Structure 1
Amino acid sequence: METKPQERLRKPRADAQRNRERVLEAAKAVFSVGGAEASLEAVARQAGVGIGTLYRHFPTREDLFEAVYRREVEQLAELAEELKSEPSPVEALRRWLRSTVQFVATKKGMMAALAIVMTANSELAAYSHGHLTRSIGALLARAVEAGEIRNDISADDVLRALIGMCYMHDQTGWQQSVLRLLDVFVDGLRVGKGRE
């Protein structure tokens, strides 16, 4: 009997989707603490699922790293959308940049694995760069339009500066240092009397 097209394209069952989300949350926590070599069994245990369930959703360790990374990039894009309603465009940009530093901080244990995945997967690199620059671009454009931020900086410039600031992520106290630098950076972008 032939499968109907709508049956082939049907969405995953609700419990399967919940399991996938639990695995992603658990992987984020376990990899952040245990690094790229943390066991997948620990991820399954933290998620409250069997190892077979984990492998059904993510056949390889790299698939799981990539899924966690994509999900976090999507959450940063969603945050940028939410921050568009923030009364102060400059503070919206600042909050998004600070959230991105937190994102990097939670990835400390995954950095080596992510570097390998990103190198091997140019589509993933393009995907993340596109999402992040669009997020920055929307927040930056709003601040420029409000006359609060200078108009001679691009989303790529801001992303490069942010990545550069986070480069020393393996040094003790790096996160507090980067948050201070971000404040200096954002204040340096301000124009007119709004500049602090």
Structure 2
Amino acid sequence: MPATKTLRADGRRNRERLIAAAAELIRRDGAQASLEEIARSAGLGSATLHRHFPSRHLLLEAVYREGVEQLCGHAAAQPGVDPAAELDVWIEETTAYIADNRGLGIALAGPDGDGLSADDICVTDRLIDELQVLVDRAAEAGVVRPGVTGQDLMTLMNAIGTATEKDSATARRLVRLALAGIHPC
């Protein structure tokens, strides 16, 4: 069932439960997590899972979109309080997300995903846009070096997240070290 179709309240709840269960199992087991286990973990049957998500790819895409929505929501949560801390916390959270969910992006771009990239799913640009807002706030406050861009930091986050797959604690530590370099002395 496509996400654009209006669902009854119980259908929306089931869809949300499936996405939450899938996100948890993907973090634990990777993008190849068992669909049966996802349905069981959500407290639903596999037929319900397949009604909402006729393919693994559609479920993975929904999990990916939900994760990006949460990250973007965090970016807007407390604007302007402390621009340096706001930027650093968001970068750390996003890098940890990338590390914990790296297999998700690969699965979406793989053969079952019809070669779709994160850009095709239209969320990478949203992440970079949110990040650039944070960078601009920090630059206006004078707490980042001149010339730092959202794209630069996204590249850094992807590199660290990829290098530390399934190890978000190391990802967080490495990104904190890297962030020291973007702030003026």
1:175 matched residue in structure 2? 168
Q: Distance in 2 between matches of 1:118 and 1:77?
A: 24
Q: Distance in 2 between matches of 1:151 and 1:126?
A: 31
Whether the 8 Å CA contact 2:139–2:145 is kept in 1: the answer is yes
Normalized against structure 2, the TM-score is what? 0.86
- Deviations along 1:61-114, one digit per CA (max 9) or x if unpaired, are 0110111001101111111011324x2101001110111122123315545423
Whether the 8 Å CA contact 1:108–1:169 is kept in 2: the answer is no
- Residue type matched to 2:176 in 1? D
Unaligned runs of 5+ in 2: none
2:160 matched residue in structure 1? 165
SS of residue paired to 1:190: coil
1:89 matched residue in structure 2? 83
1:59 matched residue in structure 2? 54
- Residue type matched to 1:168 in 2? A
Whether the 8 Å CA contact 1:33–1:109 is kept in 2: the answer is no
1:99 matched residue in structure 2? 93
Distance 1:83 1:34, change over 3 A: same
Say whether 1:189 aligns with 2:170: no
Distance 1:10 1:128, change over 3 A: closer
- Residue type matched to 1:188 in 2? G
Of Structure 1 and Structure 2, the greater helix share is in 1
- Residue type matched to 2:10 in 1? D
Say whether 1:29 aligns with 2:24: yes
Unaligned runs of 5+ in 1: 1-8
Say whether 1:145 aligns with 2:140: yes
Number of residues paired by the alignment?
181
Say whether 1:46 aligns with 2:41: yes
